[in-house]
């Protein structure tokens, strides 16, 4: 059985569907055919039973009283007038003695049931059964008790007899056999037709799946993510949904690949500058050691400071790239409910250390969000770092958190209007800020983190000069019940 199941599962889907349809139709046709055959059999047997009972009711009323005198004395008597029925008629005693009543040359085989009817007579009842005659022919038998009024007394009761009449079943069985053959032929044709129809339906229904399979194999073979499966606009079945999902998946993969290629290209470009400068400085230091021509102390100190700054810049750039390369699933594993005001306070401590000459004010109200604590704090730190970087010496930075809206306003030079659409692009840096330290990834990380939380971030001109960064995060003013 397991081998059959394994072989069935190894077949193509269309073959399995065709076999399942054929099997279902075969079961239904078989059930209908068997039911039909039994109904017809019951009808034919019912007609035979009615004929036998009618023949019994049509016998002369005084015929049974003459059985003892005639049947036992003349073994082939037609006292009951049964000769015209072209049937079997015989009398059986309670001890099994048989007396033929009509001119039939064959005798119906007597059973214990016939003897029991003779022993326990009930003139109003009779038994019907299938039997055979002495020649082996099938017959339909009716056995009815016969009470002999003046018969001898045996064991304190009147000695009784049973009348057995029967008709041949040859015609009935021939009709049933022909019906079975016809039903078998019709069932076979129906099953074959159902199998062919099932195969055709499976081919038509699985044609979109074949196209999808070809598309997937093409993508696996060529890595061409531009392929799309045509879908009818008004179709909403499972195949259409699967095709839409495949098209969306390939589109997302193509977009992800483009972003990865762009990230690699931008990262290579950004890494080239500090690496070139770092290599140049190291070569100068190495050449000085190899030639024995020492570099002046002030210049050597400047070179070492430059090397240190470039190493710091590389470390920062690599960290930012690692942050951008993390998938949403990896970040989702560490998502929890956090108090946003505490995260902002922690970021403010770091910002005050980086800009001790600045005045940073904060007005924070409680707000709870679902996010990764480290990622969200890094995003807030990046916003505050930008404000510190572009604030004039002795300037003021205003931070406010109210109903899930975090605003950070500085009083620096601001961002030109034509540059605002690009501030969240990867590696984009304003021409006026390229001399300042930074990788150009800070605001990209902010945008990504805020979007993953379900919020939004914008940068705009502030009234009176400077820039205001606005972060809107979904959440609540009170922690959920599961958070203590």
Query: Rg for the chain (alpha carbons), in Å?
Result: 51
Please report the pLDDT score of residue 177 as a whole number. Answer: 92
Q: Which residues of the chain have pLDDT under 50?
A: 68, 74-85, 151-159, 327-330, 483-484
pLDDT digits (tens, 9 = 90+) for 145-187: 776 555 444 333 444 678 888 888 888 889 999 999 998 898 8
Residue in 67, 99, 93, 97 with CA at minimum distance from that of residue 80: 67
CA distance 14 to 23: 14
How many other C-beta atoms can be found within 10 angstroms of the C-beta atom of residue 341? Answer: 16
Please report the pLDDT score of residue 158 as a whole number. Answer: 46
One of 3.30.565.10, 1.20.950.20, 3.40.50.1580, 3.40.50.300 is the CATH number of 333-472, namely: 3.30.565.10
| Domains in the chain: boundaries | 1-58+173-224, 60-168, 238-325, 333-472
Given this chain, do its domains 60-168 and 238-325 carry the same CATH topology? no
Q: Look at the domain 238-325 and name its fold.
A: Helix Hairpins (1.10.287)
pLDDT digits (tens, 9 = 90+) for 57-87: 766 555 555 554 555 554 444 444 444 445 7
CA distance 221 to 161: 92
One of 3.30.450, 3.30.1120, 2.40.50, 3.30.1360 is the CATH number of 60-168, namely: 3.30.450
């Amino acid at each position: 059985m397991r081998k059959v199941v394994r072989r069935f599962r190894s077949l193509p889907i269309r073959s399995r569907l065709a076999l399942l349809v054929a099997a279902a139709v075969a079961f239904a046709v078989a059930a209908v055919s068997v039911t039909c055959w039994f109904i017809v059999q019951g009808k034919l047997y019912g007609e035979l039973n009615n004929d036998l009972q009618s023949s019994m009711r049509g016998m002369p009323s005084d015929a049974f009283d003459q059985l003892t005198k005639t049947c036992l004395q003349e073994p082939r008597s037609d006292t009951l007038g049964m000769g015209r029925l072209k049937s079997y008629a015989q009398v059986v005693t309670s001890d099994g003695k048989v007396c033929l009543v009509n001119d039939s040359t064959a005798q119906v085989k007597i059973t214990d049931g016939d003897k029991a009817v003779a022993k326990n007579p009930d003139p109003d009842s009779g038994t019907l059964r299938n039997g055979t005659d002495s020649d082996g022919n099938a017959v339909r038998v009716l056995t009815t008790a016969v009470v002999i009024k003046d018969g001898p007394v045996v064991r304190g009761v009147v000695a009784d007899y049973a009348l057995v009449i029967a008709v041949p079943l040859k015609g009935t069985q021939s009709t049933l056999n022909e019906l079975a053959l016809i039903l078998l032929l019709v069932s076979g044709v129906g099953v074959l037709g159902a199998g062919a129809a099932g195969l055709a339906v499976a081919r038509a229904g699985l044609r979109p799946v074949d196209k999808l399979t070809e598309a997937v194999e093409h993508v696996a073979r060529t890595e061409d993510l531009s392929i799309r499966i045509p879908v009818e606009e008004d179709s909403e079945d499972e195949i259409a949904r699967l095709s839409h999902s495949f098209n969306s998946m390939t589109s997302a993969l193509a977009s992800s690949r483009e972003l990865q290629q762009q990230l690699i290209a931008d990262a290579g470009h950004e890494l080239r500058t500090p690496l070139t400068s770092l290599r140049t400085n190291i070569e100068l230091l190495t050449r000085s050691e190899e030639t024995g021509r020492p570099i002046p102390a002030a210049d050597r100190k400047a070179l070492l400071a430059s090397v240190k700054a470039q190493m710091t810049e590389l470390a920062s750039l690599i960290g930012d790239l690692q942050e951008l390369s993390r998938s949403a699933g990896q970040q989702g594993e560490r998502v929890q409910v956090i108090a946003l005001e505490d995260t902002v306070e922690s970021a403010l401590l770091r910002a005050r250390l980086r800009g001790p000459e600045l005045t940073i004010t904060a007005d924070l109200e409680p707000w709870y969000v679902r996010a990764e604590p480290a990622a969200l704090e890094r995003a807030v730190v990046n916003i505050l770092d930008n404000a510190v970087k572009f604030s004039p010496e002795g300037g003021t930075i205003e931070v406010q958190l109210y109903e899930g809206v975090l605003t950070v306003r500085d009083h620096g030079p601001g961002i030109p209007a034509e540059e605002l659409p690009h501030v969240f692009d990867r590696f984009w840096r304003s021409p006026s800020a390229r001399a300042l330290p930074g990788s150009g990834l800070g605001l990209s990380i902010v945008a990504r983190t805020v979007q993953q939380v379900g919020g939004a971030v914008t940068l705009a001109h502030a009234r009176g000069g400077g820039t205001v960064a606005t972060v809107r995060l979904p959440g609540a003013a009170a922690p959920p019940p599961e958070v203590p």
